[in-house]
Amino acid sequence: MRKEILEEFNEWWYTEEAPRDLLMDYKRHLFSSVVKNVKKRHILSITGLRRTGKTTIMYQVIDNLLKEETKAQNIVYFSFDEMVEGLDDVIDTYREIHAINLRKERIYLFMDEVQKLKDWENQIKKYYDLYPKLKFVISGSESLFVGKLSKETLAGRIHEFYLPTLSFSEFLDLKGIKPKPYAPRIKPMFMEYVNKGGFPEMVNETNMKEVARYIRSSVIDKIVYKDVPTISGIRNVELLHQLLAAMAINPGMDLSYQSLAEQFDSDRRTIKEYVMWLKESFLIRLVGNYRKGTASLRKNKKAYLLDCGIISAFKPQIDDAFLGRMVENAVINTVGTQAFWRNRREVDAVVDGISLEVKYQDKIIRSDLKGLSEFMRKFNTKFGFVISKNREERMKTEHGLVIFVPAWKLLLNPSIIRRKA
């Protein structure tokens, strides 16, 4: 590699400062967790959907290190978007520029888009094991570990962080709105958040057409037509796109590989593999059917989108009925659901054994609560949640306490469901 390439990435070697234009004043919640762990020996990884702010956090952490008097030349950033032979090439070039002893000095290596480096796990492992003073912070916009084997290589050596799109409270922070839990001010913002999703660059964009265009071009098309084909070798990119579209216009859809195969004139195995890639690139979330003791059943999955903006990108017209589905999608993401429950009856989400039903509608009637009641009875839990449009109360029922929480309040403060528990 030419020295200039590495020098361009690392202007602080000469200016003692992180690049101003890339820093951003606002710090995502994840920033402080990364800072807390940056001095430890473990490899830190930051993964998440494209355009969520992974690279920005890396620069912010670099800035923080510089302000703490870390020697500028001991901080190295590189993005494997650039063509290189391998990690050796980067480190050798670095040592040509600065004659530094890797064993003697603490050196921070920020390796961005690391999934693009072939066999990256083994390359990093080699340096990690040989040079205890090297600290790696790595990042990628696809899941770094596709399949179990690769994970074993770094077992016990890595601390993984996931950066989602903005939460509702981060969205408000970034807009500069102090979220007093005060409905008239926050509710319109909640609607805006549910429609737009949480891409930092779109927070202040007022034109929804522009938001949809941005998400299509900077997120969806990049992943579907470039990222996934590059690392997976899959060929039918149109199928990948169609599958995502089918999920986006039907958030929470029941995932049947067989019927998707029929619908798209493909086969079950192909569909399953493609769905896996949508998941590994953080576009979708798969939620399984709850069973006590185990996380979920393997069969009967539902698919949600990892950001509501991805839904809007495919569905320009959103009516009231569909808005309820988007709110459900936002709630599922906010509480980090991994399971729903369905027997004869159904609840939308189970979190830490507690059931949650999203009813974003003006009237909620008794029969809307049947799933919750059945869940509380069957699993012997004392309460369950209804995530409502406006209603906020506690209601005693035969099978337990039903707690109504307005969706905007839950999104503002998702720990409500744990505190009330």
Ligand X SMILES: Nc1ncnc2c1ncn2[C@@H]1O[C@H](COP(=O)(O)OP(=O)(O)OP(=O)(O)O)[C@@H](O)[C@H]1O
In this structure, the strands spanning 43-47 and 158-162 are parallel
Site for ligand X in 153-192 (CB under 6 A): 174
Torsions phi, psi for 19 (to 5 deg): -65, 115
Return d(Cα 220, Cα 242) in angstroms, integer.
12
Site for ligand X in 217-256 (CB under 6 A): none
Residue with smaller CB distance to Mg ion, 110 or 277:
110
Q: Does 309 help bind ligand X (rule: CB under 6 A)?
A: no
Eight-state DSSP code of residue 102: T
Q: Which part of the chain contacts ligand X (CB under 6 A), choosing from 52-60, 149-157, 207-215, 291-299?
A: 52-60
Contacts of 30 (CB under 8 A, 6+ apart): 46, 57, 161, 163
Which residue number places its CB atom closest to ligand X?
A: 53
Please, what is the minimum distance in Å from the beta carbon of residue 152 to ligand X? Answer: 26
**What six digits make up the tokens of 386?**
């209804």
92: three-class secondary structure by DSSP: helix
Residue with smaller CB distance to ligand X, 115 or 388:
115
Nearest to 227 by CA among 158, 283, 270, 153: 283
Residue with smaller CB distance to ligand X, 67 or 95:
67
Q: Which part of the chain contacts ligand X (CB under 6 A), choosing from 46-54, 280-288, 293-301, 393-401?
A: 46-54
Residue type, 167: S
Residue with smaller CB distance to ligand X, 166 or 339:
166
Residue with smaller CB distance to ligand X, 277 or 375:
277
Residue in 12, 28, 91, 400 binding ligand X, rule: CB under 6 A: 28
Residue in 200, 384, 406, 414 binding ligand X, rule: CB under 6 A: 200
Give the residue ranges of DSSP H helices in 215-361: 221, 228-232, 237-248, 257-263, 268-280, 308-314, 320-335
Return d(Cα 338, Cα 336) in angstroms, integer.
6
Instruction: Count the site residues for Mg ion by CB under 5 A.
Output: 1
Q: Is the separation of the CB atoms in 380 and 386 below 8 Å?
A: no
Please, what is the minimum distance in Å from the beta carbon of residue 358 to ligand X? Answer: 28
Residue 276 interacts with, from ligand X, Mg ion, none (CB under 5-8 Å by kind): none
Q: Is the separation of the CB atoms in 289 and 232 below 8 Å?
A: no
**What six digits make up the tokens of 353?**
């054994």
**What six digits make up the tokens of 165?**
């799109």
Residue with smaller CB distance to Mg ion, 111 or 303:
111
Residue 359 interacts with, from Mg ion, ligand X, none (CB under 5-8 Å by kind): none
Site for Mg ion in 39-68 (CB under 5 A): 55
Residue in 10, 47, 55, 143 binding ligand X, rule: CB under 6 A: 55
Return d(Cα 405, Cα 143) in angstroms, integer.
33
Residue in 18, 30, 38, 54 binding ligand X, rule: CB under 6 A: 54
Residue with smaller CB distance to Mg ion, 5 or 416:
5
Residue in 26, 127, 131, 162 binding ligand X, rule: CB under 6 A: 26
Task: Report the largest interatomic distance among the alpha carbons of the chain, rounded to a whole angstrom.
Answer: 74
Q: Which residues would be at the binding site for ligand X (CB under 6 A)?
A: 24, 26, 28, 50-56, 141, 174, 200-201
Q: Which residues would be at the binding site for Mg ion (CB under 5 A)?
A: 55
